[in-house]
Structure 1
Amino acid sequence: MIWNSAGWQSWVELRPLAIPCTSFIFLKESLMKRLFILLAAMFAVSSVFAQNSMQQILEARFTAANATHDGKLTKEQAQAGMPRVAAHFDEIDTTHQGYVTLEQIEQFVAQHQR
């Protein structure tokens, strides 16, 4: 017997009011799934923002290093403004034209990030 605001009641009478254990576990699993989906979505969005940010930084550095503003970065320009590009200049300049473009640098970075 249990005393509550309705007076003395047996556990059997109160049982339908109790939350079954399996329902509680289901509720907990449902919340965990929603939380996981929310976290995954937040991670995906943050990755996109980080990638866009890195893209903007790369473009800004390329523009600053490209003294002639012709969209072509020579080895000398790379040494002055983008030392990592200069260190890998021959690998990035796959066409062996003596300059690299922003697109070539982006491709090189994408290949070597993995």
Structure 2
Amino acid sequence: MKNKIFKNSISALTLLFTVIGLAQNKSSNTVSLDVYYSKIQAEKNPQIIDARGPEEFALNHINGAVNFNLESKDYEQQLAKLDKTKPVFTYSIGAGRSVWLADDLLKKRF
């Protein structure tokens, strides 16, 4: 049941990741939906960040994801909760917020 809910959440976000794939400023850390799903499944407790706004997050999100981005008031506190020894998965509607967040995480040695 849990796996089905996760797959449904992923399916609902397919359109979102399609936009990422078509973005002009595509990050080297941007991957296809299939690769993203496989990498999350390979992790015991994946660190998933939904970089969209709180309203968008409330509508739908990947189970287990936390919601914050570079513009969040508690950005530094949220970062402090992450384990730098494990991968961090980010996503948003377009490549904008999640790529900026991923780039900032890389600069901070995540």
Query: Given the two structures, how large is their TM-score scaled by the length of structure 2?
Result: 0.25
The one of the two structures with greater contact order (alpha-carbon pairs below 8 A, sep at least 6) is 2
**Hey, which of these two has a bigger chunk of helix by percent?**
1
**Structure of larger gyration radius:** 1
TM-score by length of 1: 0.24
